[in-house]
Each structure stands twice: as structure tokens, then as C-alpha cells.
Amino acid sequence: MLDVAADQQLAKELMELHQVKCTECQEDRLRCATRPACMTRNFLNTLIEIGVEASDMPAFCYSVNLDQVRRLILEKKGKKMLDRRLPIKDLLQTLGISSIRHFTTKFKKEWSNFASVNEGNTMLVTGNDLLFRFDFVRGIVTINPTKDRINTFGVFKLYCELFSERYQVKSTVKDVTPNWWVLSVEAGSPDVTTLRALQKSEIAGDFEAIYHKETEGKTQIQIEVVLDSDTKYLEAEHLDELFAKVCKICGTA
């Protein structure tokens, strides 16, 4: 924001202030467990995001975090988590799972609407109203990513493939240019008014254009994405909401 030296100094001071706040929060264990000072454990999330080792995490807060994740995934208990990060190895350990293959094999049998897609060093898994993004390069998993910025066609394609399976719709994607992508969804023979409602909905504002065309008596909904600046970007929750609405139009909800 200012210059490198000034930004680093500010960042250091902010981290020190949060560390003091974090220490005070952990001294009151009931508060830390139920009403953490950083709201939804955002400070802990930040430490994980920047690569702090588990041994250097605020110990009690981290143990509560792991327990909440375990109960949510295995017992379906607790509040829904959004954008919660964990080292992959700690997620597997707290679930009593030996590997990523074990993770997908186990939950494919246990979860409804299970789906997984992967390409390169990224894997997305969904089921039982949960969504996971595994980043194998950084060794971090994000639970229920909503603010995950989709800034490459590869990640866009992965999310579209996953949501197509999750919502049981057929779709294809095309990269017209490096920053101009088109998502096409087969919609059958929907009512025209529902298509117009989608075009006028709030979610339409997150995309460059939404339109439909007829091909051999069937309707195809096309959604264009253009990434043209740092102020306009696509997030995982935008695609999720779009597919949920298209699912209703297609009658697969």
C-alpha cells in the first residue's frame, strides 16, 4: 500500500497486536471455544494460510478448531464452516484417515451426492453439503471455500466439472481467450420466464453475460466470464449459486 519497508513494519505490528489478543483469548478457554476473539478463528486461518507450522499455532485454539472440523465432517454437528483452512496432514489425522485416496474412498461410500475432480496439484471434493479444495503444492485444504478467487481457466474448469456433478447438469467450458471463458449448460426445454429471471437476477451481475440459444429443439444456457481487472473477479460461491439456479431451471433440483 505504501512501500515495502512501511508495509512490512505495519504487518509486523498488526501480527504482534493479534498475538497479544490471541494469548488473552486462550486464557479464557470457554470464550476461546465458543466465542473466539477473532470471530470465526480468522487469525488462526491467517496463520495457516501463510504457512505457520502447527507446532507454532496457538495450541488450545488449534485443538478446538480440529475438534470442530472433526465433529462437522464425521458427526454432522456444529455450525457450518466457510473458508476454513487446515494443513492437509492435520485434516487426515484428525479424521483418522491415512491418505487422500482413503479420504475419497471412505466418503464416496458414506456421503450423498459425492463428487471429486482433480487436475495437476488441485483436487475438489464435495458431498453431504460439504466442499473441499485440496492444494497439494501448499499442503493446505480449504473447507467450504466461498471466497476462493477463480483466476485461471484450469480452476474455472475444475469448479464447473464439480458443480455439474453436484447439481446433476450437463455442461462444457471453453476458453475463447486467456481471460474470456464460456460455460454452456444443457437446459432441456425450460420456461422462458425462468431464463429471463436468471438473466435479471443478482447473480447475473457476477458474470459478463448470460443468454440462451436453441439447438435442435433444446435450450442451451451460456454464461460468459471476462476477467478484465483486479476489481472484477469470480469467486467459488458465484459459480455455486449459478449452478444451483440453473439446476432448478433444468428440473434436476
| pLDDT tens digits, one per residue of 83-97 | 999 999 999 999 999
Question: How high is the pLDDT of residue 8?
Answer: 84
Task: Please report the pLDDT score of residue 193 as a whole number.
Answer: 86
Q: Is the pLDDT of residue 252 over 80?
A: no
Q: What is the pLDDT of residues 65-114, one digit of tens each?
A: 999 999 999 999 998 999 999 999 999 999 999 999 999 999 999 998 89
Number of continuous H segments (helices) and E segments (strands) in the chain? 9, 9
Tens digit of each residue's pLDDT (9 = 90 or more) over 5-31: 887 888 888 888 888 999 999 999 999
What is the pLDDT of the chain when averaged over all its residues? 92
pLDDT at 14: 86
Q: Which fold has domain 153-250?
A: Yope Regulator; Chain: A, (3.30.1460)
- Eight-class DSSP state of 229: B
pLDDT number for residue 231 = 62
Q: Give the chain's length.
A: 253
Measured CA to CA, the distance from residue 87 to residue 105 in angstroms comes to 20
Predicted structure pTM score: 0.90
Reported as a single tens digit per residue, the pLDDT across 146-173 is 999 998 999 999 999 999 999 999 999 9
Angle in degrees, CA 200, 203, 208, rounded to 5: 80
Cell of 216: 435442435
What distance in Å separates the CA atoms of residue 57 and residue 19, rounded to the nearest whole number?
A: 10
Q: Are 9 and 34 in contact (CB under 8 A)?
A: no
Residue 188: pLDDT band (50, 70, 90) is: confident
- Within the chain, all domains assigned CATH 3.30.1460 are found at 153-250
Q: How many Cα atoms sit within 13 Å of 129 on the Cβ side?
A: 8
Phi, psi for 209 (deg, rounded to 5): -160, 150
